[in-house]
Amino acid sequence: MSLSLKPLAIGSLPHKSAKDALDYVFELFKNTPFWPQLGNVDKKEDMIVQYTQNIPGIVYDKKCDKYFFEADSDKFFEDVETFYSDYELITSGEDVSLLDKYAITPPYSAAFGEFITRIDKTKPEFIKGHVTGPFTFGVAICDRDGRCGFFDDTLRDIATKGLILKALWQIKEFKKHSPNSKIIIFVDEPAVCQYGTSAFVTVQKSQITETFEQVISAIQAEGALAGIHCCGKADWEMMIDVGFNILNLDAYLYAQNLALYPKKVDNFLRKGGYIAWGVVPTLDKDALEKMDIEKAVEIFKNAVAVLTSKGIDENLIIKQSVVSPSCGAGGLDIALAKKAMKLTVELSEELNKKYL
């Protein structure tokens, strides 16, 4: 199976109905469908909150409408002991059925169940799932004193393993209902572009890479591809070194960022890695309103040219390219979100005619 110039989408859509969202997903992304995060259906579909279900130590405070790590109760230690036991039994293959404890169910996802029903019927070539990355997740949820969970060794490990279980549960469900589909799990990491800034000056690179390596190895051990989505400037050398199969960047604004590492990128592509070019802008409504297929093709060609100018073979780049929006579409109105999705698919079709 080849992903060459196929369309992929990022996780979120603005629809208020799971049926409407999935109708559109399966209409456009016939061979690469994804299950959408629908924050307008329930706020628990927020990209952080969505993955908190049954992860020990995470509590919701109604008074301030926030989620916190609480690690100072007897219940926490009891829950953690059970959690680690579950994790070992699951990842060793001794009792995979325990994954169902870490399912993503309503109200944390309105679309997942129906998505499974539809892939059972359609058996697509590829299936895309997603989890929030451990860095973004770990810095978004803090303890009561405002200290990010990622800064605590125990909480960082719990968060990482919890996200792994969420990924493995998705893979299990996809395999059960469409066993011949190639599975892709994106690790959504918008916050990792802030690594190295004053806000996270105490974060060590090894802390990030260790969590990434754990997530990647768990996904790849199940035969799935591990992709990373970051819609800002990022250390793509680090992403390549830890072993991601797909790099998804905002090519509308930051294509030059990838060219900082030409030797790494060239080797990554030669080993079968893919670049998912986020050509269609979803974070800039004015730019999206002005966007058309001719402009999208031009942006793609310019992004490729940035790499060819560094000596990377154009044919290799094209063969190992995927197209996507620059980020999720959940913050757009439905009309603009539909435009972004349609343009992504049209770009894929246009590039296939031109290059393949």
Whether residue 33 lies inside any domain: the answer is yes
d(CA 293, CA 296): 5
For the cut 80, the answer to whether the pLDDT of residue 15 exceeds it is yes
pLDDT of residue 199: 77
Determine the distance from the C-alpha atom of residue 125 to the mean position of all C-alpha atoms in its chain, rounded to a whole number. Answer: 19
Whether residue 326 lies inside any domain: the answer is yes
Whether residue 206 lies inside any domain: the answer is yes
Quote the percentage of the chain above a pLDDT of 90: 94
The enclosing domain of 41 has a CATH number of 3.20.20.210
Whether residue 347 lies inside any domain: the answer is yes
For the cut 90, the answer to whether the pLDDT of residue 356 exceeds it is no
Whether residue 99 lies inside any domain: the answer is no
Whether residue 233 lies inside any domain: the answer is yes
Strands of 321-325's sheet, edge to edge?
126-132, 182-188, 225-230, 246-249, 274-280, 321-325
pLDDT of residue 72: 87
Q: How many CB atoms sit inside 10 A of residue 143's CB?
A: 17
Q: How many domains does the chain have?
A: 1
Q: Please, which pLDDT band fits residue 201 given cuts at 50, 70 and 90?
A: confident
Quote the percentage of the chain above a pLDDT of 70: 100
Residue the block writes with tokens 């279900």: 53
pLDDT of residue 30: 97
Average pLDDT, the chain: 96
Write out pLDDT tens, residues 318-344. 999 999 999 999 999 999 999 999 999
Whether residue 251 lies inside any domain: the answer is yes
For 244, which DSSP code? -
d(CA 131, CA 166): 7
Q: Please, which pLDDT band fits residue 260 given cuts at 50, 70 and 90?
A: very high
Q: Please, which pLDDT band fits residue 254 given cuts at 50, 70 and 90?
A: very high
Most confident of the following: 195-199, 216-220, 233-237? 216-220
Burial 21-37 (b: 16+ CB within 10 A, else e): bbebbbebbeebbbbbb
Q: Are 13 and 36 in contact (CB under 8 A)?
A: yes
Whether residue 176 lies inside any domain: the answer is yes
The token pair at 353 is 């005619």
Domain that holds residue 187: 18-48+107-355
